Amino acid sequence: MPVKRSIFYKFLGHVPYSNALQIQEQLHKSVLSGALGMDGCILFLSHEPVITFGKYSSETNLLVDENKLSELGVNVYRSSRGGDITCHEPGQLVIYPILNLKKMHLGVKEYVGMLELTIINFLSEFGISGETVKGRPGVWVENKKIASVGINISKYVTTHGLAINIYNSLESFSYVNPCGFSDIGMTSVKLLNGECGDLDSAGTIFLKHFENIFKVSGVKYQSIKEAAGNLI
């Protein structure tokens, strides 16, 4: 029977998107060098209203002028992750697994598939049947998107990850063609289920399924300041 690997996890609460980029960059270095002491970590957090472009996104998928978005309190970032344009909002659970795929013997497609399966199993806890759709990354419920996946991998170590709509307003998605598609709607756990709890409880449920799918044991990280370069 394979031995379970261990990873650190941490609930960070609200973190500005720009700070989260710096934290991921430092943790990437710590995982790559082995300084973290485990095969990786997984961060649970939320962001202010932001719109992010993936590295292959088209600018035409942004439907509102950036100056107007700034007036609305929505920032725009160009990101190193894969995938197209997407949004983050308060009430959305953002999850950044920073893992050494080489040590975990995982390929890129396998990793993304396991993330999507974890989301689907997470949604089942709320009585929601999620599914994947060929050619449209992320997880869907009755032709509406509930979760996005966008990753970056450098030297076998992952950054970025996924976002699940829990009880966010979804307003920011009206400013873009989500994932580059003009014909899709968005949904959330709250819209579909009514009851969704808070983000920490949602993160705990997700972690349970992540541990099962990835065959890892999560170890709560009381402090990751050193590994994250005192950014937290």
Residues forming the active site: 179
- Asked if residue 88 lies in contact with residue 94, where contact means CB atoms within 8 angstroms, the answer is yes
Closest residue by Cα to residue 97 from 18, 199, 203, 190: 203
Q: What is the DSSP letter of 175?
A: G
- As a whole number of angstroms, the distance between CA 148 and CA 200 comes to 19
Q: What is the DSSP letter of 88?
A: E
CA angle, residues 117, 187, 55, in degrees to nearest 5: 65
Residues 6+ apart with CB under 8 A from 57: 83, 84, 85, 180
Instruction: Provide φ and ψ at 14, rounded to 5°.
Output: -80, 125
CA angle, residues 200, 91, 9, in degrees to nearest 5: 30
The dihedral built from the CA positions of residue 37, 4, 106 and 24, taken in this order, carries a sign that is negative
